[in-house]
Amino acid sequence: MLQAFICTTCGTQHTESEVAPSRCIICDDERQYVPPTGQSWTTLSRLRKTHSAVFKEESGVIAIGTSPSFAIGQRALLVRSPDGNVLWDCISLIDDTMVELINGIGGLKAIAISHPHYYTTMLEWSRAFGGIPVYLHEKDREWIMRSGPEIELWSGDTKEISPGMTLVRVGGHFSGGTAMHWDKGPGGKGALFSGDLLQVVAGRKFVSFMWSYPNFIPLGEQAVRTIEKRVLPWQYDRIYGAFWDRVIESNAKRVMAESVARHIELLSREAE
């Protein structure tokens, strides 16, 4: 029987096959990892038996995660708008109850994902809401493990997907790495949804810039300056990171500038 197997380390669903794939190329890449115990797989039907969804209001948007934590452990963010709700980033779990709850607050008009580590079960999510578009940057097309007509590859540096919601290619962690700017962010001051391309740190006083998080490999100066340049034109007071409660609530543009300066200074610091 054909099944769309899900990597348990990164949460990515692969093209249907009769047996589990021998490897996950996303985890074989040095920006991710394969556990010492080896590659393992699950399916959406199994995941629905072992995990449940968690919904939580988080700084003006609805965060959707999984309990217990699964794979990388990020949460998706549902941004409500009179022009239609948008799901930012994605998680592997999707079931009828989740769909019913989301439809109860207006459903979804589109999905946008920051980078390949969060592609997860994006086609399942799209089809659960009538085949809505899934926006991915075309520079990351090689990491799409399960293709479908619902995927809309975009190019260039920006793309408005809904009034006031614009995708911004920042690069860095992945070439097509994308943030989303929301000009109607809480308080009307604007917000930036960054995934972990701009990783909101535990103390929520800085963001960090890494090429590989599990392997602790930082981005170099030029890549960080490019991110800074691409984000600079946008007005925002808040940054939503990839994980629970990782939100910089205010003065986020200042935090961004300070984080870039801090990162570059530390890269060049000599050992004492």
Q: Give the pLDDT confidence of 243-260 residue by residue, as tens digits.
A: 999 999 999 999 999 999
pLDDT at 271 over 90: no
Element (H, E) at 111: strand 110-112
CATH superfamily of 6-268: Ribonuclease Z/Hydroxyacylglutathione hydrolase-like (3.60.15.10)
What pLDDT, on a 0 to 100 scale, did the predictor assign at position 259? 98
b/e 144-173 (16+ beta carbons within 10 angstroms → b): bbbeeebbbebeeeebebbeebbbbbbbbb
Residue 187 has pLDDT above 90, yes or no: no
Instruction: Indicate the DSSP class of residue 270.
Output: P
**pLDDT surpassing 90 at residue 212:** yes
Task: Name the residue among 235, 254, 243, 232 with its Cα closest to residue 199.
Answer: 243
CA–CA dist 226, 169 (Å, integer): 10
- What's the pLDDT score for residue 1? 86
Domain extents in the chain: 6-268
Kindly report the average pLDDT of the chain as a whole number. Answer: 97
| Predicted pLDDT at 222 | 97
